[in-house]
Amino acid sequence: MSLQLPERRDRSGTFHRRLTLLALFGISLITLTGCSSESRGEWERLAMPDPATVEGESTLALWQGAWIAALITGVFVWGLIFYAVVKFRRRSDDEIPVQTRYNLPLEIFYTIFPIIMVVVFFSHTVRVQNVVLDDSPPDNTITVVGQQWTWTFNHPYDNQNVYVSGDGNVIPTLVLPVDETTRFELRTPDVIHDFGVPGFLIKMDVMPGQENHFQVTPKRIGTYAGKCYELCGVYHSRMLFNVEIVSRADYDTYLQGLEDAGDVTDEPILGGAYANEQVGLDPTDAEEADQ
């Protein structure tokens, strides 16, 4: 017995030192990361990107609202748990607390309340979905083609189709006019891809044989990054693209530039054999990678 006491004291000393170190580490982490206005914005948006489109604002509001509702519920439930743990902890008298059964008000509460929560979450989700998937006639339509392993963007211009396409080495750029609604018609000749721009807070599957579309209204000029969100195959990681939101005048200049460069067809390029030619990969490379 006499030997155990110093050992115990030692252990609790180490424990306290570790706890202090952990607390210091936590405080310095918060202090070091929580200063810039950029990271403050990230905290406010709960890690969502700053939406670059009008539609993205609704998605962000849904995200924030859902987290706030979940946190309020969490605090309430944690409170009840800690209350029960402390109030009914084991005591020396070893008396079992009153066992509550057939408590009708309590049972009604925990049945009705989750149903109300699900209804509220569901109604807000449907409301935001209607905003994000709004189908009213857009100002512009761009046919987006996902292909193994890049993207082609077809813009109607001058009663023709002008296009830009990436290849194995070049990441294509999707140019969009600001303050105008642009619809993306999503097409693929091969496998399922997923077209998305994190800054737009939306993505959608690009599926063979299915004509998916959505539209966005970019609200500020800038450069963004886009990518394929579906693990579509061996060179999936190459399916990146840039997005440039420009003024109407710059957009017209850009389209004219594509026409002048001869990147013109009668109809939007939808891929197929043409898409595979665009890949820019040595066929033997692709074969090796397949194995």
CB of 164 to Cu ion, least distance (A): 17
Question: For Cu ion, which is the closer residue by CB, 175 or 232?
Answer: 232
Cβ–Cβ under 8 Å, residues 218 and 51? no
Binding site for Cu ion (CB under 5 A): 193, 228, 232, 239
CB of 274 to Cu ion, least distance (A): 17
Give min distance, CB of 232 to Cu ion, in A. 3
CB of 237 to Cu ion, least distance (A): 9
Among residues 51 and 196, whose Cβ is nearest to Cu ion? 196
Query: Under a CB-based contact definition with an 8 Å cutoff, are residues 183 and 139 in contact?
Result: no
What residues contact residue 256 under an 8 Å CB cut-off, 6+ apart? Answer: 157
> Using CA of residue 59, residue 61, residue 64, residue 70, what is the dihedral sign?
negative
Nearer to Cu ion, 74 or 208 (CB): 208
The CB-of-36 to Cu ion minimum distance in angstroms stands at 34
Cα-to-chain-centroid distance, residue 23? 32
Sheet holding 182-187, edge to edge: 212-216, 182-187, 140-147, 150-157, 160-165, 264-265
Compare residues 174 and 228 and give the one whose CB is closer to Cu ion: 228
Tokens of 142: 């761009």
Nearer to Cu ion, 186 or 228 (CB): 228
Residue type, 228: C
